[in-house]
Amino acid sequence: MKTVFSLFKNTSAIQNAVYFSPGEECLTAILECIHAATSSLKICVFTISDDRITNALLLAHRKGVKIQLLTDNEKLFDKGSDIRQLAQAGLKVKVDNTSNHMHHKFAIIDHTHVLTGSYNWTRSAALYNHENVLVTSDAHVVASYAEEFNRLWEEMSFYK
């Protein structure tokens, strides 16, 4: 799907769509969803190592968007991981405390949209990998992802 991207001003402008990589489509969809958030972002991702995503999250946080981030405990220490930087900036970050990987990749934007797919929030995903992102406002899908996020949020431990 080739799309001309423009930053959404709020979640009502987010389009239900599918995006593919390699290339910038998936990254742009993620950035637009982050920029569109006006009240909350619930993010559940294996890791974040793409500085463009990190910078967008920091900007949203400074604008007052409530951000909750769930991530894998082992990926915190990978070279290039931005999770510790986000936690130090004041984002609420929780990590799994199991020997298994928290391998989800989804975000809930303002309780109205879900962004999900195989796309890792890393620079190499945009450059090399064949991955995908789906954005939907389907209320049933949003509610299901919110239920899973809330369940995991209760299970996981705050990163300190």
Q: Domains of the chain: which residue ranges?
A: 14-158
CA 39/CA 66 separation, integer angstroms? 6
φ and ψ of 44, to 5 deg: -130, 100
Q: What is the pLDDT of residues 104-135, one digit of tens each?
A: 999 999 999 999 999 999 988 989 999 999 99
pLDDT at 14: 86
Please answer whether residues 118 and 96 qualify as being in contact, where contact means their C-beta atoms are separated by less than 8 angstroms: no
pLDDT at 98: 83
Structure tokens at 100: 């298994």
What are the catalytic residues? 103, 105, 110
pLDDT at 6: 45
Fold classified for 14-158? Endonuclease; Chain A (3.30.870)
pLDDT at 75: 87
pLDDT at 21: 93
pLDDT at 93: 97
CA 47/CA 92 separation, integer angstroms? 15
CB neighbours (10 Å) of residue 158?
9
CB neighbours (10 Å) of residue 154?
8
Residues of the chain with pLDDT under 70: 1-13
Sorted by sequence, the CB contacts under 8 Å of residue 12 that are 6+ apart come out as none
